[in-house]
Amino acid sequence: MKPSILSLSMLAGLVACQNSSSPLPTTIIPTPTTAIALSGSTVANPAAFTTALTLHVEDLWDLFVGPVSTATVNTTVSATPIPTHELIPPPSLFYSSFPSGQQIPLASKNESWKFPAGFWWGVASAAYQVEGAAKAEGRGPSIWDVLLHRVTGYTVANQTGDVADNQYYLYKQDIARIAALGVKTYSFSISWSRVFPFGNGPVNELALAHYDDVINTCIEFGVEPAVTLYHWDLPLNLQNTYGGWLGPQVVDDFVAYAKVVFGRYGNKVPRWFTVNEPIVFCNNYPLPDHYFTNTSIPKIQQPFWCGHYVLLAHAKAYHLAKSMGINGTVSFKTNGGYKIPLTNSSEDAVAVQRAWDFNEGWFANPTFLTGDYPKYLKDFVSGFLPEFTDEEKSMINGTSDVYAHDAYTSQFYMAPDSGIQACTSNTSHRLYPSCANTTYSYTTADGGWNVGPAADPLSPWLHKATDWMPLFLRYIQDTWHPSGGIAITEFGFAEPFEALKTLKADIQFDPIRSSYYREYMEAILMAISEGVNVVGTLAWSIVDNLEWNSGFQDKFGVQYVNLTTQERAYKASFFEYVNAFKLYGTDPVTPHFVSS
């Protein structure tokens, strides 16, 4: 494979100025002055010296990441039949004929509820969180390999994605396990740095052949593949070469990557997603100092430069897919919860709208409404981002076939204690620039209760707030008017303190997560019955996985994973999720099994 060339100056870990409001320079990689004064003379500045390095993929690992762990199993494992006893639902969804005597309150079916024909549902994952096989078959490192290997204190338990759930080799069994419960869709992401180890340049055929088989295995088991091109694992080489999502070069590199993937898998995939949760991965900028090539973009501006190039990259990839004859839907996945005003004050109403503008509206307004940013966000970014041209606005608008939303929870919003004006005029205010404060609790006058039960402490942002979902779905429909409907492309719950449990049987019974899935599906059914066009759902996640800097301590899986043996086991919540479609689905839930 052709090596990558980096200049040595790109390896320097320099600290960028945070408060400058100057426009973007010609290059975002700062160049020191070439000369300095010495005893009254001018001499060459050694900080400006450069050299060229020719790096192979292995060099990127050795220089920037270091040694990685490998799994005991490092060849693809064939699927085996799922034992019949594992497919038996838990009480109270199932009781055997003996012993008898259990009594539960009668819960009548709501005959006015129904998932429409063609409603697609399933489970989701992401490459870095489940695949493992970090260096296998030519994968290049991503920024997350550096973040979790090298950055002190970045992860709560010093855990990495080196092995994870080893799904790179166990995907056949994982697909067989969900097919045995009748799951219709498996949503996964492709690792950009597997296909392009340097992020651009040479293409890795071994990676493409691997994902060929993942997709074909889904189809073999009657499971529709849904593919995300980018789920946060940016190729490290792109970050170090030009700043990753902060550099304009990323647009063309992303589109070139999309072209290879679209061209390879095309219409085998009925649902495509370009990027996952740009609100989150753009707000991961600035990356930690001293571990990546420095950038001259002020830190407070970096998330919004990222968002600017994400919108352009997504829009170009969307139009590319259509020009290539892709018949499936093409969308991107945004995220966030319903924004509830804490009080009925005018200040809180403004804070709520600012929160929408700096979150969902950041990407949804350009793609569904105008091709441009919403008001409060635009007021902020107009001081440093270039205006989208009329041609760019036209290109961006209308580039999402479905409103795909990762919607886990809801929370209250209110004005800062000092007021919105005091915040927007003070760049050092902790809530600047959104200037919208949040809480998960009702006011003291309303009892001070949380909006719902809290998830695991490692997910302090997550509370069970399913009672707000019908209103949230209605808001999305009325605000952004998605012609292709709304899909909830991630939702799930981190069962509190599940990582502390040691008995598998205790882990499998996850009562809060089970009630979350049951009540969430009921909320969607309510919204559908009231005229909201919801077209699909994807539960997060297919298995317990690496939850980024929370490691494996924060459990979202509807299946348990023993990280030593890689054994999987269904949790009660998985059966609760499937049961919603057995009760209310128009289409039958049809299991597919491994041929014995």
* DSSP per position, 260-298: HHHHHHGGG-SEEEEEE-HHHHHHTPSPPTTSS----S-
Give residues with Cβ within 8 angstroms of 502, minimum separation 6.
Answer: none
Residue 277 annotated as catalytic = yes
Q: Looking at 131, 224, 392, 490, which residue is catalytic?
A: 490
Which amino acid type is present at position 576? E
| pLDDT tens figures, 202-249 | 999 999 999 999 999 999 999 999 999 999 999 999 999 999 999 999
- Once rounded to an integer, what is the mean pLDDT over residues 397-426? 98
Segment 513-517 long-range contacts (CB within 8 Å, at least 24 positions apart): 513/558, 513/571, 513/573, 514/571, 514/572, 514/573, 514/576, 515/464, 515/576, 516/464, 516/466, 516/492, 516/573, 517/493, 517/573, 517/576, 517/577, 517/580
Q: Looking at 131, 224, 277, 495, which residue is catalytic?
A: 277
Give the pLDDT band of residue 27 (cuts 50, 70, 90): low
Tell whether the model's pLDDT for residue 26 goes beyond 60.
Answer: no
Give residues with Cβ within 8 angstroms of 24, minimum separation 6.
Answer: 297, 305, 384, 386
Query: Residue 53: what pLDDT?
Result: 85
- Once rounded to an integer, what is the mean pLDDT over residues 345-355? 98
Question: Which three-class secondary structure state does DSSP give residue 568?
Answer: strand
Query: Residue 81: what pLDDT?
Result: 97
Whole-number average pLDDT of the chain = 95
Lowest mean pLDDT among 35-49, 280-294, 506-520, 569-583: 35-49
Rounded Cα–Cα distance for residues 500 and 426 (Å): 43
Tell whether the model's pLDDT for residue 16 goes beyond 80.
Answer: no
| pLDDT tens figures, 127-158 | 999 999 999 999 999 999 999 999 999 999 99
DSSP assignment of 205-264 equals HHHHHHHHHHHHHHHHTT-EEEEEEESS--BHHHHHHH-GGGSTHHHHHHHHHHHHHHHH
pLDDT > 90 fraction of the chain, expressed in percent and rounded: 90
Query: Residue 24: what pLDDT?
Result: 45
- Once rounded to an integer, what is the mean pLDDT over residues 318-347? 98
Query: Residue 25: what pLDDT?
Result: 41
The answer to whether the CB of 306 falls within 8 A of the CB of 245 is yes
- Once rounded to an integer, what is the mean pLDDT over residues 170-187? 98
Rounded Cα–Cα distance for residues 316 and 248 (Å): 13
Query: Residue 49: what pLDDT?
Result: 87
pTM of the model: 0.95
Residue 530 annotated as catalytic = no
Tell whether the model's pLDDT for residue 169 goes beyond 50.
Answer: yes
Give the pLDDT band of residue 516 (cuts 50, 70, 90): very high
Query: Residue 237: what pLDDT?
Result: 98
Query: Residue 446: what pLDDT?
Result: 97
Give the pLDDT band of residue 47 (cuts 50, 70, 90): confident
